[in-house]
């Protein structure tokens, strides 16, 4: 049996609910294919989230780490292709808004995920749910944790798989927020389970 670390994020900015938190919490302890899942929730905080994901990886020693983030306004499941070495964006939950900062001083400009994202997209579509590869994870916290995990892969853990999936809002969030396209929690979770099944098979 292999171990998969799944991470979700806490609520942030104008989103009082983060659907990735509920998905991660519900998957915790489950077995999907060859993977036993261990979930953790990350803070939306530039000074903490990177250290937290690296600490979880060091403690849990997963074979793969799949991070989930909300992208309010997207209407498909979007596995991310690349993480870039930039922190730039709106205030995090501690009120800090970086401008054009490197995540890792002297680190690679970017890292491609080593997860089978094309197969994931095809499998999610095959399950009847909309999906496409995204070519930008932005420069906010989602890109930040994806970069941190892939930097570790490239520096120390070449055998570990690391990737990131942005998901649309859930109906629960859309009801609170008022103006964002949304999916049911069940469909969001089914899409993520489908991606984990692909990981297990490849
Ligand atoms: N989405 C944000 C950070 C936390 C989350 O769920 C992002 O896309 O960077």
Q: How many CB atoms lie within 10 A of CB 197?
A: 17
Angle at which helices 185-201 and 117-126 cross, to 10°:
130
> Domain residues of the chain, as ranges?
2-201
| Residue 69 CA, closest ligand 1 atom number | 6
**CA 134 to ligand 1 centroid distance, Å:** 14
| Residue 141 CA, closest ligand 1 atom number | 9
Residue 56 annotated in active site: no
d(CA 12, CA 183): 19
Distance from chain centroid for Cα 117:
13
Tallying the residues shown for the chain, one arrives at 202
| 126-137: average pLDDT | 98
pLDDT value, residue 186: 98
d(CA 10, CA 123): 28
Judging by beta carbons within 10 Å of its beta carbon (0-12, 13-18, 19+), is residue 59 exposed, middle or buried?
exposed
d(CA 114, CA 127): 23
**Higher pLDDT residue, 93 or 178?**
93
Q: Please tell me which residue in 38, 40, 56, 142 is annotated as part of the active site.
A: 142
pLDDT value, residue 63: 98
pLDDT value, residue 178: 79
Q: Going by CATH, does the domain composed of 2-201 fall within 3.40.630.20?
A: yes
80's tokens: 């991310």
Residue 142 annotated in active site: yes
| 166 closest CA partner among 191, 149, 148 | 191
pLDDT higher than 90, residue 146: yes
> Ligand 1: which of 141, 145, 168, 180 to mutate, judged by most atoms within 8 Å of the beta carbon?
141
SS3 state at 127: coil
Residue 176 annotated in active site: no
Ligand 1 pocket, Cβ-based, cut-off 6 angstroms: 9, 12, 18, 20, 44, 69-71, 138, 140-142
pLDDT value, residue 101: 98
Residues 159-184 pLDDT 10s: 999 999 999 999 999 999 878 999 99
pLDDT higher than 90, residue 152: yes
pTM given for the model: 0.98
**CA 72 to ligand 1 centroid distance, Å:** 9
pLDDT value, residue 190: 98
| 44 closest CA partner among 63, 21, 78, 66 | 21
Residues 10-40 pLDDT 10s: 999 999 999 999 999 999 999 999 999 999 9
């Amino acid at each position: 049996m292999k171990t998969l670390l799944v991470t979700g994020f806490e609520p942030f900015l104008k989103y009082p609910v983060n659907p990735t938190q509920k998905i991660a919490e519900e998957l915790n302890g489950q077995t999907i294919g060859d993977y036993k899942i261990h979930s953790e929730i990350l803070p939306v905080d530039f000074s903490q989230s990177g250290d937290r994901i690296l600490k979880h990886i060091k403690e849990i020693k997963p074979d793969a780490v799949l991070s989930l983030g909300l992208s309010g306004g997207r209407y498909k499941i979007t596995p991310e292709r690349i993480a870039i070495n930039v922190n730039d964006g709106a205030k995090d939950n501690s009120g800090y808004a970086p401008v054009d900062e490197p995540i890792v001083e002297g680190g690679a400009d970017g890292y491609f995920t080593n997860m089978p994202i094309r197969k994931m997209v095809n499998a999610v579509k095959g399950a009847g749910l909309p999906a496409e590869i995204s070519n930008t994870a932005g420069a906010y916290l989602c890109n930040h944790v994806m970069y941190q995990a892939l930097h570790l892969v490239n520096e120390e853990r070449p055998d570990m798989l690391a990737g990131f999936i942005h998901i649309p809002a859930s109906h629960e969030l859309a009801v609170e927020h008022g103006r964002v396209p949304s999916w049911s929690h069940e469909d969001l979770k089914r899409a993520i389970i489908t991606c984990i099944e692909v990981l297990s098979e490849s």
